Structure 1
Amino acid sequence: MNWYVVYTKPKWEKKVADKLKELGIECYCPLVTQIKQWSDRKKKIEVPLFNSYVFVQLTDVERNSVFQVAGVVRYLFWLGKPAIVKDEEIEAIKTSLKAPNISDVTVSSIQVGDRIKLESGAFSNQSAIVQEVSNNYYILVLETLGCILKIKYK
């Protein structure tokens, strides 16, 4: 059986995971504990690691059964087919979340104005500022070298 990624309505991840478990569908919604502060108090709450995503383990024939649950929008697709997540990747997520020193984890994308450090290639260990983000490339400003770098990705 493969692990698939189900896209949910915003803030419905835990509800969808609970309903899928009630239907007998193997699912995984990785949660992290965060401290939220309101004007009068602080509180620890569990929030999904990946917003609007729940992992489900099903056979190809059972794939449509997830749509019985309110809050499920669609499957995440990669190259025209439902995205498949390897068992090792699910285990890696579970293992990393069990590590004792994780207190606050966020997953975010690179945005204009971010300062990043290049880790490989001809410009490794160089600091850069993201000037532009496109569907196919990033444009980075390397201040120490006084140049602009265009990085294509697929």
Structure 2
Amino acid sequence: MPWYAVHTRSRHESKACDGLTLKSIHAFLPKIETWSRRKDRRKRIQLPMFPGYLFVEMMRADNQERLDILKTPGVVKILGTARGNIPIPVPDEKIEAIRRLVDSKVEIQHYRYPKAGERARILDGPFRDIEGMVVKADPRKDLFVITIEILQRAVAIEMQGFQVERV
């Protein structure tokens, strides 16, 4: 069965994952271990590798299962096409790579999204590997507007956070 990315409410990843598991839906919430500073000490804590997201395994055509996922407390949406009506599967090799990374216990740092005015590289889609300038950034909505120059003209395109990286 294919895997799909699920957007959750902020800081509700574990609650959503537990709710999906109770519904017998195979959910995967990759977590990383990091240090947290308290007033008097440092403590190791586990945080979601991808804040606001988890992964579920489901049949694409199963509308009832999709509805069960969307009705789970903490779940916002299943990532998909721009209209949101067709979920887009996450390749198995990417899920496997994430599992290996989590299992390896390697120290992982969260990467900051680019801000307006910073240069960014597009990682996915028809403009892959092209660099441009971030004009507008809204990480809460996971939306970035990047201008790229094509034939001495600037064009602005909207990208999602997973499609861009700071240069």
Same-fold status (TM-score > 0.5): yes
Q: 1:113 to 1:67 in 2, by over 3 A?
A: closer
Q: How far apart are residue 51 of structure 1 and its match? A: 1.1
Structure 1: any 5+ residue segments left out of the alignment?
118-129, 140-149
Q: 1:114 to 1:38 in 2, by over 3 A?
A: farther
**TM-align CA RMSD:** 2.8
Q: How far apart are residue 50 of structure 1 and its match? A: 0.7
2: CA distance, partners of 1:138 / 1:35: 38
Percent identical pairs in the alignment equals 28
Amino acid at match of 2:57: Q
Residue in 2 that maps onto 1:85: 90
SS in 2 for 1:78: coil
2: CA distance, partners of 1:45 / 1:14: 14
Establish whether residue 97 from structure 1 lines up as the match of residue 102 from structure 2: yes
Q: How far apart are residue 137 of structure 1 and its match? A: 2.3
1: CA distance, partners of 2:12 / 2:25: 17
Quick check: 1:49–1:107 contact (8 Å CA) kept in 2?
A: no
1: CA distance, partners of 2:9 / 2:54: 11
Amino acid at match of 1:57: E
Establish whether residue 136 from structure 1 lines up as the match of residue 163 from structure 2: no
Q: TM-score, normalised by structure 2?
A: 0.66
Q: 1:106 to 1:14 in 2, by over 3 A?
A: same
Amino acid at match of 1:136: I
Q: 1:132 to 1:72 in 2, by over 3 A?
A: closer
Structure 2: any 5+ residue segments left out of the alignment?
122-131, 137-144, 160-167
Quick check: 2:119–2:133 contact (8 Å CA) kept in 1?
A: no
- Runs (4+) of structure 1 exceeding 3 A deviation are 112-117, 130-134, 150-154
1: CA distance, partners of 2:155 / 2:97: 29
Residue in 1 that maps onto 2:72: 69
Q: TM-score, normalised by structure 1?
A: 0.71
Q: How far apart are residue 113 of structure 1 and its match? A: 6.5
How far does the alpha carbon of each residue in 1:110-144 deviate from its partner, in whole angstroms, 9 at most, with x for none? 22466889xxxxxxxxxxxx9643413269xxxxx
Radius of gyration: which is bigger? 1
How far does the alpha carbon of each residue in 1:80-131 deviate from its partner, in whole angstroms, 9 at most, with x for none? 432210111100111122224x2232133222466889xxxxxxxxxxxx96
Amino acid at match of 1:88: E
